[in-house]
Amino acid sequence: MTDDISARVATGRPCPTRPASIIHLPPERIAILKIAALRGGKLKACTVFHAVAAKIWKARTTALRIPCDRHSTMLFPVDIRKRLVPEVPAGFAGNAIIPGYARATAEELIDLDEPELVRRVQEGIERLDDGYVRSAIDWLEANPGGGHWGEDRFSVVAMFRLGLEEPEFAWGKQICNVPVEVKPGLVALLPGPREGGGINVWVDMDADQVEELRRILLND
């Protein structure tokens, strides 16, 4: 299954279509995840993205039943404007993101506690210094698309801070804002409902896997 999806994504062939699923994380649950990450004083700070991404990383690996000895790699776009030397000028309007990553075996993800999982996400962001970014740009030029996505290599994209829910049209504010398509290996974090807030986690997984993912994200 993984090899087939990876091959289709790499060659641009259509992937098998199935309805994408949305799991809503309410503000109270997000607050609990942040508190768990800061428990014990191992970390000085934890953002919403750090806490949610770390939980998704562990939950997704468990839901997909990835073998214990296999590595799970989570990619996430990082703004590099202030990480280059010199910094990117304030008026620059082009693309300025590079994928950071966190990696661990499935066994490690099961055993590690929340502070350690979040720390690995934070390290994946912190390692993007000037030298890393320039090397990554060279690699991406030689490997367009950044490699394959699959069960053990996926990307989390935070879209809940882009203000997509704010524009008001002549007929009123939009009710829902989602990507046209979520490919296998992509997890999109979207703004939650206007009334309730929180984050909508948008995934493309089999129904039984989605239910296991939902259970872990909302209860474990």
The answer to the question of residue 59 being in a domain is: yes
Q: Which domain holds residue 119?
A: 26-154+208-218
Give the model's pLDDT for residue 164.
Answer: 64
Instruction: Report the phi/psi class of residue 26: left, alpha or beta, with left for phi > 0 and alpha for psi in -120 to 50.
Output: beta
Report the pLDDT value the prediction gives residue 200, as an integer from 0 to 100.
Answer: 93
Q: Does 78 map to a domain? A: yes
With tokens 């993101």, the residue in question is 97
List of the chain residues with pLDDT < 70: 1-18, 145-148, 163-166, 175-180, 182
Rounded to two decimals, the pTM is 0.83
**Number of domains present in the structure of the chain:** 1
Pairwise CA distance, residues 131 & 176, whole Å: 40
Asked if residue 175 is part of any domain, the answer here is: no
Asked whether residue 43 is domain-assigned, the answer is: yes
We report the CATH number of the domain holding residue 115 as 3.30.559.10
* Domain membership flag for residue 47: yes
pLDDT of residue 163: 65
Instruction: Examine residue 3 and state whether it is found in any structural domain, yes or no.
Output: no
Length of the chain: 220
Q: Residue 145: what pLDDT?
A: 67
Determine how many CB atoms are found less than 10 A away from the CB of residue 59.
21
Residue of 115, 107, 130, 104 whose CA lies nearest to 44:
115
Q: Are 20 and 202 in contact (CB under 8 A)?
A: yes
Please check whether residue 104 lies inside any domain of the structure.
yes
Whether 12 is in a domain gets the answer: no
> Minimal CA–CA distance to 188: which of 12, 37, 56?
56
